[in-house]
């Protein structure tokens, strides 16, 4: 589905811009992951509602890494080059993630208020 809904002739983005970064931090707080694993985990946890593209995930990973929220770690040297790098959350990332529950609450309240609009 790729995070979009077909509503008549319109294609509506189901996920607000910017949500991918806190979601990535949340996933990496559970365990280190490769970029593809992150995409698959989001797809699985959203029950197929959202499959972020590489064009969304990898720039977000780069920005989070430049900001010091995550870092790359080497994995098994026998793996293919692309699979050798996992991302791991840093202490700065964990601190940033502490406000994630506030974000989820605000987001849920805003989505809930929109249901009466339609």
**46-104 pLDDT per residue, tens:** 888 788 889 989 999 999 999 999 999 977 666 666 556 899 999 999 999 888 777 77
Domain with 65, as residue range(s), is 17-104
Average pLDDT of span 4-18: 59
User: Is 7 within the bounds of a domain?
Assistant: no
Contacts 24+ apart (CB under 8 A), 44-52: 48/1, 49/1, 49/3, 49/14, 50/1, 50/2, 50/3, 50/14, 50/15, 51/1, 51/2, 51/3, 52/3, 52/15, 52/20
User: Is 110 within the bounds of a domain?
Assistant: no
Which CATH number do you get for residue 45? 1.10.10.10
Residue in 2, 88, 79, 83 with CA at minimum distance from that of residue 46 = 2
Tell me the two tokens of residue 17: 């811009």
Q: What is the band of 1 on the pLDDT scale with cuts at 50, 70, 90?
A: very low
Tell me the two tokens of residue 14: 């189901």
User: Is 117 within the bounds of a domain?
Assistant: no
In the chain, how many domains are there?
A: 1
User: Is 58 within the bounds of a domain?
Assistant: yes
Rounded to the nearest integer, the mean pLDDT of the chain is: 81
User: Is 112 within the bounds of a domain?
Assistant: no
**Predicted structure pTM score:** 0.75
User: Is 8 within the bounds of a domain?
Assistant: no
User: Is 60 within the bounds of a domain?
Assistant: yes
Q: CA-CA distances (angstroms) from residue 77 to 73, 82, 84? A: 12, 11, 6
Q: How many CB atoms lie within 10 A of CB 73?
A: 11
Q: What pLDDT is recorded for position 100?
A: 76
């Amino acid at each position: 589905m790729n995070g979009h809904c077909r509503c008549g002739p319109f294609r509506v983005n189901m996920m607000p811009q910017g949500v991918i970064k806190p979601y990535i931090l949340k996933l990496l707080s559970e365990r280190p992951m490769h970029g593809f694993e992150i995409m698959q985990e989001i797809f699985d946890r959203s029950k197929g509602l959202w499959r972020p593209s590489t064009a969304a995930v990898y720039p977000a990973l780069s920005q989070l890494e430049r900001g010091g929220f995550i870092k790359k770690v080497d994995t098994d040297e026998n793996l293919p080059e692309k699979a050798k790098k996992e991302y791991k959350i840093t202490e700065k990332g964990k601190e940033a993630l502490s406000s994630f529950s506030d974000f989820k609450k605000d987001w849920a309240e805003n989505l809930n208020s929109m249901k009466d609009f339609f």
